[in-house]
Amino acid sequence: MLAEKFKNNTIILASASPRRQELFKELQIPFSIDVKSVEEVYPTNLKGEEITHYLAILKATAFDSSICENDIIITSDTIVWLDKKALEKPKNTNEAIKMLQKLSGKSHQVITSVCIKTISKQLVFSDNTIVHFKKLSSEEINFYVENYHPFDKAGGYGIQEWIGFIGVTSIEGSYFNVMGLPVNKLYEELKKF
């Protein structure tokens, strides 16, 4: 449906995440992938969606010197927000286990911001999903981290993996947002763009 609207554009998804690429593919719009290296550092006073907005814009800004007239750049950033703190990607096994211990038996927010950028305009929006986890046992946490190595995932887990099947009791909001891309909101924003 949107393919016709953007037939004269080059849509660039600036994400190395295989999950985001897979989800974007389902929108049925031709796109290419180009990822610029960006140091994902943000001011410490930012909270919640301010963090993901800042990082999504930062990733889009990396294209300033190379963006062409018909390009549409799409960048995105996801965090897990728990107890007024951001849980980003764990650096190692120990960090992943600690994150899952923190999430165990609690509810947290998954916040994703998306930036859509052309040579002349920029739009940023976000989505927020609440995820409820059961109390996880040490065995379950260790099994998941050892077998799934969730080091490229905010909060140290993927809802579409084993831990999501056995640990997530319910969600409020978009499932795909938890995977890293609020596809329904992105579709609506692209329709208006």
How far from the centroid of its chain's Cα atoms is residue 186's Cα?
Answer: 12
**Residue 115 pLDDT exceeds 90:** yes
Q: How far is CA 163 from the centre of its chain?
A: 18
Cα dihedral 112→116→121→124 (10° resolution): -10
Residue 126, strand partner residues: 113
Say if domain 2-192 classifies as CATH 3.40.50.2300.
no
The pLDDT mean for the chain works out to 96
- pLDDT range class, residue 1, cuts 50, 70, 90: confident
Write the pLDDT tens digit of every residue in 16-66. Answer: 999 999 999 999 999 999 999 999 999 999 999 999 999 999 999 999 999
State how far the Cα of 87 lies from the Cα of 113, in Å rounded to an integer.
15
Structure confidence at residue 190 (pLDDT): 96
The yes-or-no verdict on residue 88 having pLDDT over 90 is: no
Full-model pTM: 0.94
- Catalytic sites, residue numbers: 77
When pLDDT is averaged across residues 131-156 and rounded to a whole number, the result is 97
